[in-house]
Structures are given as structure tokens and as C-alpha cells.
Amino acid sequence: MMSDKKIAPILACRSLSKHYGALAAVDKLNFDVRSGEILGISGPNGAGKTTLFEVISGLDPATSGEISFRGHNIVDFPPEQICHMGIARTFQLNTAFDTLTARENVLLASCFGHHNLLFPGFKFNRSALKRADEALDLVRMTHKRDAVARDLPVYDRKRLMIAGALACEPKLLLLDEPVGGLDFQEINEVIELVEIIRHEHSLTIILIEHVMRFLVALSDRVMIMHQGKNIYEGLPEELAKDPTVVEVYLGEEAKHLKQLMQ
């Protein structure tokens, strides 16, 4: 996909910082995300990746800096407003509404996450129901729609989270370690799912992942974070050749990654 430098990026972070007391979890971070691309973020534990998602999605406000999303500075916006503007995320710990069924989990998202619903009413909007059923169908969980989320295995809960995010019809999707703890076949299915999402829904995706196979298969560009800073930003192919990345993050894995890329 040709990127035109004149077109403004869909997301731009400038000097973004998040401090917890003296600790800078995100340290004056600068990066852009182009519309329609998949940006992969990785890095050692504690690098600030999930904190970055918390800050962008508004659940944990930034200490300083700017986040520009489709032309608006969203740094002080509450999470529900950011959701309505078009950013949806999934969480590292497989999060769900435990007492709700799979269908209700996704319906909640499609009903409240799509736009600001001033007066919910006593009946569900037909388009909200349709969006929910379609999202559930996309992650292939229609047959489990009446199962209570608490009883679902990890892989189903992860898919449910993705369905919920999609039901909001976002412009930007943030996936936080979507394949952590999954087996080989399940990872393949999620790769396939993300590719379908990307092609059918014209979204931009930022994903955090440690599983290199997943990251490299999907990302157009990769960013590596370390101690809250951006230490590498570029093509996945070049990742294993960057000495800082190798020293800080990949280590022995660099050889394996080089093999993967060939």
C-alpha cells in the first residue's frame, strides 16, 4: 500500500508521557500510524506497551503530550468518548462480562460503543442487533452465542473480545497480545481473522504481541519499545538486523527471526 506523505496519519503521538511517580512508563513517545496500515508493537516486558494502549484508549490519562486522532487531540477525553470517536481495543488479560452470554457481550458493544446513545430505550435497535450478530459470526462464535462468558475457554473469550471491538465499527483497532497463550492452530486462525478484518472493514490496526510469528506475518511496520521509548520503527524484515533491538529484546531469538523472514 503506497503511503502518501501528504495525507495526515490517523493517529499521531507527540511527546507522549505517562509517569507513575518517578517511573516513566511512557517516555516522550513520538510515532505516527498511517490510515489502513497494521502497526506491530513489541518489546520486553515493562516497556510500556500496554500502558501506551491504556493512555490512547483513555482508561489511564497521559501525564503530558498529545495524541491526535483523526485531527482531534484526545488526550483528555474519557474512554467512552474515545470509543465513540472510533477507537476500540482488546485487553491483555482475557476480559469479558462474565455473567452475560456471548451474544450479550457483543450486543453491549454494538449498542453502546458504536455511537453516543443518548436514550437507550427499552428495546434494542435493529442495526445494533445486526452488528452484534455479524461480529459474532465473523469470529465464528455464533453457535456459542447463548453460552455464559464465565464458562467459555480462553480462546473463545479472546475471540469474544475481538467481536466486541468490531461491533463498535471502529476506525482504529488496538489489539493487546491477542494470541498470548494460544496454540499453533489457534494462532493461525487469529492471523486469518485479522487479515479478513483488515480487508473487509478498512480499519487501521495497532497490535502488541510477543509472538514474533504473528507480529511479522501481519505488520506493515513494526515499532519496538523499551523503557517507555521508541527504539526501533521500521519494516519487520529489518527488525532482526537492528543491533539495539537484538541487544535489548531479541537476543538469541534474532537468529530464529532471521530464519522466519527468509
Partner 1 sequence: MIDVMSNPRSRDPIFGGVLLAIAIIIPFLDPGIYFVKQLTLLFIWTAAVTQWNLVFGVAGIWTLAHMVIFATGGYGTAMIGLYLDWSLWVGLPIAALCAIFISYLIGVATVRLRGPYVAVLTLAIAVAIYALILSDSECFTYDELVCYQFSGGINGLHRFGDFGFKELLGFKQRFFGDYYLALAVLAFGTAFVIAVVRSPFGLAFRGLRDNEKYSRSRGISFTKYQILVFVMSGFFTGLAGGVYAGFFKTMGSSVVGMPLLLYLFTMMIVGGRGYIWGPILGCGLLMLVDDLLRTQAEWRTVVFAVIIIVVVLFMRFGLAGLIEQLWHRYVVQFFRLRREERERSMAAK
d(CA 9, CA 35): 6
d(CA 65, CA 87): 19
Q: Which of the residues 195 through 254 are near partner 1 (CB under 8 A)?
A: none
With the C-alpha atoms ordered 183, 180, 173, 7, is the resulting torsion angle positive or negative? Answer: negative
117 contributes a contact to partner 1 by CB under 8 A: yes
All three cell numbers of 98:
462474565
Q: Tell me which of 97, 134, 155, 258 binds partner 1, using CB under 8 A.
A: 97
Q: Tell me which of 1, 7, 122, 243 binds partner 1, using CB under 8 A.
A: 122
Give the interface segment with partner 1, choosing from 20-28, 78-86, 137-145, 226-234 (CB under 8 A). Answer: 78-86
Binding-site residue total for partner 1 (CB under 8 A)?
A: 33
Please state the closest distance from residue 112 (CB atom) to partner 1, in A: 4
Report CA 201 to chain centroid distance, whole Å.
15
d(CA 188, CA 200): 18
Give the interface segment with partner 1, choosing from 3-11, 22-30, 99-107, 236-244 (CB under 8 A). Answer: 99-107
Per-residue x/- marks for partner 1, 4-23, CB under 8 A? Answer: --------------------
With the C-alpha atoms ordered 25, 28, 34, 37, is the resulting torsion angle positive or negative? Answer: negative
Q: Tell me which of 61, 76, 78, 247 binds partner 1, using CB under 8 A.
A: 78
Q: For residue 176, which of 33, 11, 26, 53 has the smallest C-alpha distance?
A: 53
Q: Tell me which of 23, 64, 98, 202 binds partner 1, using CB under 8 A.
A: 98
Number of alpha carbons in the 13 Å side-chain half-sphere of residue 139? 27
Contacts of 92 by beta carbon, 8 Å cutoff, 6+ apart: 50, 176, 177, 180, 208
Residue closer to partner 1 by CB (options 80, 195) is 80
158 contributes a contact to partner 1 by CB under 8 A: no
Q: Residue numbers of the site for partner 1 (CB under 8 A)?
A: 57, 59, 78-80, 83-84, 88-89, 91, 95-100, 104, 107-109, 111-114, 116-117, 120-124, 164, 168
